[in-house]
Structure 1
């Protein structure tokens, strides 16, 4: 008989490090507050089911404290078993633990198969994108190369993020710190550009002058200053990353360099640990985060999608930006949801409605074809053009998490998460979406035989097998 395991100090330290109350942690672990209190005081041992819940809800944080191969395998198995493909009830923690104990090799193979299936799904989406844009069989465009580089990196660049965090933490919250650091460390003088023909940011290395558009909002101005400081302070790190990436197109080299500097600017303005802790404390309330760190709504959303530091991951989130035509111009996902790789998106996704309704946060509970549910928010934003003759830029940003993380997402509080029919059925792309009863379908699914009946007309003029 296995000896009881008492881990009160470890559980309590984890909860305090994540800035969670006992009620918050108990809710996520699906146990009572009194039970959690007894565990923390070593009044009760840590059962297999609670240990699995800890590994599932806080995978990186808990494993950093209890780094056992068997526990890691149980957590990975729980992740694979949570795929709602079969429709069967999810095995409980004790059943998963028995399976790992009795058939460890078989369970490792099951986890490996799940990982391979996920990679195949990702490859299918890449092929669908190439088919949809007419680039199948052709070399990737420079923009696609850079986007895929960040995607393959998990949208987290440790060397750059850690360096930017050190700089940002040292600068503190003084609004003039960026200007002072540029002047004192690098001899750069910041000037406000007032001419209409000036870019948002322009640096002249010969004179050491940095021109920033004086009409920019304060948070956009700070980002441009942070971009310039990051390029100067972290230039060798950026150069090494670009050299290691070895992009095929020459233009991709410059695009990656700019993308990495933008990444570093966000990490400088929102230092990793401070931002992660505050995000957990306010349950990812974007307006509270942007005020706390002096950034824009979009910048805060984007930064949340990058919190993937090994051993200190944030809540897995997806983020995307969509323009008026439905093109996805930014896309990052730390969740299983990978529709953000596409040039277009499901019309039932709430982000499209948000584009037409600026400065209002919309919420949605959505369900993918395989059954995974996501809570997402979308907000339409407008960037003024500065002149009557030029239209302002209108777009929307979307941020979301899987249903299992809804407890850490303040926007889920007023959604009916339990009702089976409460979720909006969405898909990745019409060309690979299997939903037949969808009035919004733009294209039939690839490779499915069509059935067209001239004597019958539905909203969609065909059916498929």
Structure 2
């Protein structure tokens, strides 16, 4: 049996330590080794062991990337990631996963494939919600255009590389040395480069563009951040039309309405990428530990726009923290949603009533935080804030909703809203689910419906919080 190839990664380890601003002694303490041993590792005198690789992944989940060079090394990394699922608790040690990948590559690959299929099956189970909540007689069982576009963004992991890079390039031209293009630079580019006349006037909606006359009207009653975003949307839809159209063409959506909705959605995406250019925004987010208010102030964006942009930082080789993001209205409907984490949202209807975002809707301009645990044992730190978007007129009611942003506790050190939380306490986490119809918890006092895949028992002589027991 051939020996496992030893991994010497001194430069990568040294770069990681310096990027984290740690001295050798501090880094060694985090890894549970001595400073002389770390020095030998950094100098290339000692190889990294499987146990050390596991510790590095846990201590630096966002920054550490194994310098894998061969297929078997990549398989070991994929196996470690799959085995880290709470479903398996502490079944596998670092040495065992490395040994399996080396000695039983066929089995290891099958395990990784099976775990991926398990994750996909969990997501498909949520379609039960859709099937039960949508009247099939109206839609013929097919997705509506907005549902098709929503699912397209989800499958794209909410990151559209050609549009994002094109917007970042345009931002560099307009930023004038600032972190984000100022509003006058956007206005000047619309007028001079795209021959668009611009007017701020009421009674034309939020934004109205006459393509034949090249005339754009923006509602002056919008908050400054919203006016700037509408300008950026129009600029992106014109200046990046070819890039956006190519993505729409490659999406193979069924209807013209879906394709038009996707064009609008991609223009909004490009506007966010223009105002918060990827590399500059990612660096600022890391430096501020994802403090939304600081980032919004630095880039001139709204709280919601900033949260949404953080959920899109999934560029290969330069990923941000994997966040989930959603927007919930006063009725509990999820009107925006994306997750780069294992947490998935109900496709229709409201989210779990135990989730802090529902409380945040009723308390505007106050940030609430929560440590939550889903039925699969994964814990999340989430932040939620209620927002009121003014209408600019007494005759139109302001829009009230809440946004939520969160990550798995493995990234809590990067998320300022986790400060002060007891992440290790067994009782500190609120038990939440995706939706009642697919939540397996049988002891939840907030359950609205029984789970769709389990029987119920009704006892006329006994009444609990709900009038049935889950089988």
Q: Distance in 1 between matches of 2:261 and 2:66?
A: 35
Pick from 252, 275, 279 the counterpart of residue 258 of structure 2: 252
**1:413-424 matched pairs, under 5 angstroms:** 413-424=419-430
> Is this contact kept in 1: 2:346–2:435, CA < 8 A?
no
**CA 1:390–1:170 in structure 2 vs 1: closer, same or farther (change >3 Å)?**
same
Offset of residue 398 of structure 1: 0.5
Q: Deviations over 1:237-265 (max 9, x none)?
A: 11111112122222111111100000011
**Residue in 2 aligned with 1:171?**
174
Q: Distance in 2 between matches of 1:401 and 1:36?
A: 30
**Could you say what secondary structure the match of 1:186 adopts?**
coil
**CA 1:245–1:10 in structure 2 vs 1: closer, same or farther (change >3 Å)?**
same
> Is this contact kept in 2: 1:55–1:75, CA < 8 A?
no
**Residue in 1 aligned with 2:223?**
217
**Residue in 2 aligned with 1:82?**
84
Show structure 2 runs of 5+ residues with no match: none
> Is this contact kept in 2: 1:305–1:318, CA < 8 A?
yes
Show structure 1 runs of 5+ residues with no match: none
> Is this contact kept in 2: 1:22–1:37, CA < 8 A?
no
**CA 1:112–1:230 in structure 2 vs 1: closer, same or farther (change >3 Å)?**
same
Q: Note if 1:134 corresponds to 2:142.
A: no
Greater Cα shift, 60-69 or 89-98: 60-69
Q: Distance in 2 between matches of 1:36 and 1:413?
A: 29
Offset of residue 98 of structure 1: 1.5
**1:35-434 matched pairs, under 5 angstroms:** 39-42=41-44, 45-54=47-56, 63=65, 65-86=67-88, 88-135=89-136, 138-172=141-175, 173=178, 175=182, 176-193=184-201, 195=202, 197-339=203-345, 341-434=347-440
Q: Distance in 1 between matches of 2:46 and 2:151?
A: 48
**Residue in 1 aligned with 2:21?**
21
Q: TM-score, normalised by structure 2?
A: 0.91
Q: Distance in 2 between matches of 1:340 and 1:207?
A: 43
> Is this contact kept in 1: 2:381–2:407, CA < 8 A?
yes
Offset of residue 230 of structure 1: 0.7
Q: Deviations over 1:205-229 (max 9, x none)?
A: 3333321111222211111111111
Report how many residues are paired.
460
**CA 1:198–1:363 in structure 2 vs 1: closer, same or farther (change >3 Å)?**
same
Offset of residue 117 of structure 1: 0.8
Offset of residue 442 of structure 1: 0.4
Offset of residue 30 of structure 1: 4.5
Offset of residue 444 of structure 1: 0.7
Q: Distance in 2 between matches of 1:369 and 1:155?
A: 25
**CA 1:455–1:270 in structure 2 vs 1: closer, same or farther (change >3 Å)?**
same
Offset of residue 2 of structure 1: 6.2
Greater Cα shift, 133-142 or 375-384: 133-142
**CA 1:9–1:222 in structure 2 vs 1: closer, same or farther (change >3 Å)?**
same
Q: TM-score, normalised by structure 1?
A: 0.92
Q: Distance in 1 between matches of 2:29 and 2:369?
A: 21
**Could you say what secondary structure the match of 1:148 adopts?**
helix
**CA 1:161–1:32 in structure 2 vs 1: closer, same or farther (change >3 Å)?**
farther
Q: Deviations over 1:20-74 (max 9, x none)?
A: 3227994997546946566445565432223344467778965585443233222
**Could you say what secondary structure the match of 1:339 adopts?**
coil
Q: Deviations over 1:116-144 (max 9, x none)?
A: 11111111112322212334861101110
**CA 1:277–1:311 in structure 2 vs 1: closer, same or farther (change >3 Å)?**
same
**CA 1:124–1:150 in structure 2 vs 1: closer, same or farther (change >3 Å)?**
same
Offset of residue 359 of structure 1: 0.8
Offset of residue 181 of structure 1: 1.5
Q: Distance in 1 between matches of 2:284 and 2:73?
A: 29
Greater Cα shift, 24-33 or 397-406: 24-33
> Is this contact kept in 2: 1:305–1:332, CA < 8 A?
yes
Q: Distance in 1 between matches of 2:354 and 2:430?
A: 7
**CA 1:312–1:65 in structure 2 vs 1: closer, same or farther (change >3 Å)?**
farther
Offset of residue 287 of structure 1: 1.0
Q: Distance in 2 between matches of 1:37 and 1:378?
A: 43
> Is this contact kept in 2: 1:321–1:397, CA < 8 A?
yes
Q: Distance in 1 between matches of 2:228 and 2:29?
A: 37
**CA 1:230–1:148 in structure 2 vs 1: closer, same or farther (change >3 Å)?**
same
Q: Distance in 2 between matches of 1:23 and 1:359?
A: 40
